[in-house]
Every structure is written in structure tokens, then in C-alpha cells.
Amino acid sequence: MSANEDQEMELEALRSIYEGDESFRELSPVSFQYRIGENGDPKAFLIEISWTETYPQTPPIISMNAFFNNTISSAVKQSILAKLQEAVEVNLGTAMTYTLFEYAKDNKEQFMENHHPVNSTTSISNIISVETPNIAPSNKKKDKKEQLSKAQKRKLADKTDHKGELPRGWNWVDVVK
């Protein structure tokens, strides 16, 4: 079988296996994401696998560069990727996307044993929440409409038609007097 036929068969298998699974996401027909762990779990991480043209004869591209993984240190990411690469070498030549996702799920605790959450996102949210109150009151002053007196409103209504538009030629200048 050719690489494209293998990819089509694996794509169909992945769709049927992970149908309804909120952790699995198909980004494109050759790129997939899987969240290992629950949504609120601090040790949860996201793996992205992209197939090359000649996959499964050549290894897929495995990435952990998703925003979801910002709290994981680069050393932990590198160790996870190294262990996944070892699994890729063992399964080279066969459909391995499902195998890699399951391997990561089974070994999640081992992968994340040295994980200490990085608090870079909390400092950003603190900065944003401090700046937000200063911006909000200035917007209220700009929204205030100009108040017209009763005479000004009557004069404006006399100049315009029923749609609020000025009649044609209201600003024309008489050339011949």
C-alpha cells in the first residue's frame, strides 16, 4: 500500500476511535492534537502530531508548542518529546498516531514527575486586571451625548424632512440675485 492509502486508513480509524472524545482534535487531515489529562489538571499537556508526505515510513512531526503547554518548563517538554521519539522509532513503518497518544496517556505521571508549574500566566493576568480599572472610567465620559434645548430641537426639525435628512439644495448658494 502507498503512504496516502495508509494515511487515509489511519485517519478513518482515528475518527472512529476518538469520535466524541473532547481531548482529541483534528486540526487538518494530517495534523492532530490530543490533551493528556483533564482540563483543570495542572499536569495536563497537549501533544500535536503532524504527518509528513511519506508517513508512516518516515516519523511524524511531534510538537508541544501549543499555548496550553506554556506552564510546562522546556526541560520537561524535551524529556516528553524524547520519550515519544523513542516510541516512534519502535513503531516506524506502521500507523502510530493512536499508539503515541495512548503511550502518552499511560505514562503521563512518569512524564510529569519533574513538572513544577511556571507562573508566567498569572503575572500577565495580574497586570491586565490592574490596568483595566484605569481605562474604564474614561470611556464613560466620551459616551455622553450633547444636550439640545427645546428651541434647538424645533429648529432642527423644521430644517429636515420626516426621515431626518436635510432637503436637497439646502446649502446651495444663489448665484444670480
Per-domain residue ranges for the chain? 3-112
The neighbouring-strand residues paired with 47 are 34
pLDDT of residue 135: 45
Identity of residue 97 = T
The domain over range 3-112 is classified in CATH as 3.40.50.300: no
Q: Global pTM?
A: 0.59
Band (pLDDT 50/70/90 cuts) for residue 56 is confident
pLDDT of residue 59: 87
Identity of residue 128 = I
110-149 in b/e form (b: 16+ CB < 10 A) is ebbeebeeeeeeeeeeeeeeeeeeeeeeeeeeeeeeeeee
Give 3-state DSSP helix, strand, coil % of the chain, rounded to 5: 45, 10, 40
Question: pLDDT tens across 85-105, in order?
Answer: 888 888 888 888 888 888 888
Tally of residues, the chain: 177
Question: pLDDT tens across 61-80, in order?
Answer: 888 887 777 788 888 888 88
Averaged pLDDT for residues 18-31: 86
